[in-house]
Amino acid sequence: MKTALVLFSAGSEELEAVTVVNILRRAGVTVTLAGLREGALRGSRGITLQPDTTLDAVLNDDFDMLVLPGGMPGTRHLQADARVLKLAQDMAKRGRYVTAICAAPMVLATAGLLAGRRATCYPTCLDEFPDVLLQTTAVVEDGQLITSRGPGTAMDFALTLAERLTGKARRDEVEASLVR
């Protein structure tokens, strides 16, 4: 069974995190929602989420995909966390999926993963990284790196992630059950 690690910090965008967790679980992926610290965390819109575990508890576990939701100041917390940067770098080196939505592609850029690569993000979030080949489509795939624009593209992003982990037929089944 495929596995995904979704990170959540105080100030992360709840819609993006919950949409990804929900869709991937519907597709049969084992998803772990990990907080940067222990306990419930208040997201960017004031909604409190209780992660399954902490990043420290799963840091040495093996995952097929890493997912970083955006939101502020959650993205800044992820970007400033050396564990997150190293995890993204290590997973990319191992050929695993490293994904981010909204402002979170800034984390991938800070980790050095987007230089000369195609990516998208919430408008202006990658302006300080001129070496990124910025695109404006809802979801951008460049090898194992997958990025998306923001809360409005969360469903497209989540379905793309489901397809990469479980195949097009399973993605289509999940999407049909959503009555989109």
Catalytic positions are 102
The mean pLDDT values, 10 residues at a time, for the chain of 180 residues are 98 98 98 97 97 97 98 98 98 98 98 98 94 97 98 98 98 97
* Domains (range + CATH), the chain: 3-177 (3.40.50.880)
93: which 2 tokens?
A: 């080196």
Hey, how many other C-beta atoms are within 10 angstroms of the C-beta on 164? 18
So what's the pLDDT on residue 170? 98
Hey, what amino acid is at 160?
Answer: T
So what's the pLDDT on residue 33? 98
What pairs with residue 142 in β-bridges?
A: 145
Which distant-in-sequence residues (6+ apart) come within 8 Å of 138 by Cβ? Answer: 120, 148, 149, 153, 156, 157
CA diameter of the chain? 40
pTM reported for the whole predicted model: 0.97
User: What is the chain's alpha carbon radius of gyration, rounded to the nearest angstrom?
Assistant: 15
Whether omega before 73 lies within 30 degrees of 0, making that bond cis, reads yes
Q: Give the residue carrying structure tokens 């040495």.
A: 60
Are 159 and 179 in contact by the 8 Å Cβ rule? The answer is no
So what's the pLDDT on residue 37? 96
What is the DSSP secondary structure assignment for residue 152, as one 8-state letter?
G
**Nearest-angstrom CA–CA distance, 165 and 167:** 6
